[in-house]
Amino acid sequence: MTAGRGDEAYLAAGGPARHVPVLRDEVMAALALREGGLYLDATFGAGGYSKSLLAKPDTRVLALDRDPAAIAGGASFVAEARGRLCLVKERFGRLDQAARQRGFFDFDGVALDIGVSSMQIDDLARGFSFRGDGPLDMRMDGEGATAADLVNTAGETTLANIFYLFGEERASRRIAHAIVTDRATARFTSTTMLAAMIARVAPGKPGELHPATRAFQALRIAVNDELGELVHALAAAEAILKQGGRLAVVTFHSLEDRIVKQFFAGRSGRGQTPSRRLPHEIAPPEPTFSIGGKQPVIPSRREMSANPRARSAKLRYGVRTKAVPRGLDDRLMALSKLPEVHR
């Protein structure tokens, strides 16, 4: 992905692109960069974080992105880094596998900047924005089912759940019903076609967000399994960080932040009272992260004024302990999935 992410409403509406790394200085401070360190930029995009990581002398960076356009765009940067940057096309949910396949172990830090990139939004052919007409695609890596596939085949209950749970859309059932009704006559194929239908059945008030904003966010999250990828990435980062290594995660909406907050709370033992356990009660596992400072860290007023996409950003971070990695958390995975629909 890229620096310059931010407020989902602003992105969906398609404001002017600003490739400015969100909370860049705060992320670098949270990672406590050291000379000669090994770091992983799990969301490369335009390379904003990677450039800051490489500014520290003798650091090495493994950078990932699932978007082929980002990989192609970073080729010159890789050449300039002269062996200090390895750029790989891969989902960040597989960051541990990507690292081990290339012989990287014991990272000093991992940075995750979650969300859609301004480069993806600004390319109307990708189908993320409804500010102009484009195919209803929304795939970050160009693979698998598109948003059009989902809209034209999913059941009404599934669509309503997507809009409500992933987009926090209050008119989710109304929109889902209208989609199922209208697609019986004509398939939804373009961004403006879907946005216009949503505006018709669930019109907003003057001055509010475009009525299709939350539904588009929800479809994008569903198409790319963004929350599931995040849960896998957190566990993967835990597995590859050395003792004292740091994980910094920037999120842009409440769904992502809830997962990250609960991950760090569970992994740090926050809220546990070991002295009050019942007889024969199994002791909880040792904390795999320690959490310090006031969190979440949010952008300054100056940054939010200069970059509107930073308005909803939150940074959470932790320091790896010596405890054994715990792997995937079923409770967090449940937060990333839709409820089963029984027919």
pLDDT digits (tens, 9 = 90+) for 214-263: 999 999 999 999 999 999 999 999 999 999 999 999 999 999 999 999 99
pLDDT bin (cut points 50, 70, 90) of residue 73 is very high
Averaged over 113-137, what is the pLDDT? 81
Q: Are 314 and 297 in contact (CB under 8 A)?
A: yes
Q: Residue 4: its pLDDT value, please?
A: 40
State the Cα–Cα distance between residues 198 and 213, nearest whole angstrom. 10
Q: One-letter amino acid identity for 211?
A: P
CA nearest to 225, candidates 69, 113, 72, 66: 66
Is the per-residue pLDDT at 283 higher than 80?
A: no
CA 156, 159, 162: angle at the middle one, nearest 5?
A: 150
Cα→Cα distances 4→45, 109, 112, 121, 287, Å: 9, 21, 13, 11, 33
State the Cα–Cα distance between residues 143 and 128, nearest whole angstrom. 15
pLDDT bin (cut points 50, 70, 90) of residue 134 is very high
Q: Residue 10: its pLDDT value, please?
A: 36
Q: pTM of the entire structure?
A: 0.89
Of residues 274 and 333, more confidently modeled: 333
Q: Which domains does the chain have, with CATH numbers?
A: 8-118+226-271+280-335 (3.40.50.150), 130-223 (1.10.150.170)
Of residues 49 and 128, more confidently modeled: 49
The mean pLDDT of the chain is 90
State the Cα–Cα distance between residues 305 and 308, nearest whole angstrom. 6
Q: Residue 275: its pLDDT value, please?
A: 57
State the Cα–Cα distance between residues 244 and 95, nearest whole angstrom. 19
Q: Residue 121: its pLDDT value, please?
A: 73
Of residues 123 and 268, more confidently modeled: 268
Burial zone of 121 (CB within 10 Å; 0-12 exposed, 13-18 middle, 19+ buried): buried
Q: What is the DSSP string of 187-249?
A: ---BHHHHHHHHHHHS---TTS--TTHHHHHHHHHHHHTHHHHHHHHHHHHHHHEEEEEEEEE
Q: Residue 3: its pLDDT value, please?
A: 36
Is the per-residue pLDDT at 164 higher than 70?
A: yes
For 55-65, how does the pLDDT look when each residue is reduced to its tens digit (9 = 90+)? 999 999 999 99
Residue 135's DSSP bridge partners are 190
Averaged over 323-342, what is the pLDDT? 91
Q: Residue 207: its pLDDT value, please?
A: 83
Averaged over 12-22, what is the pLDDT? 50
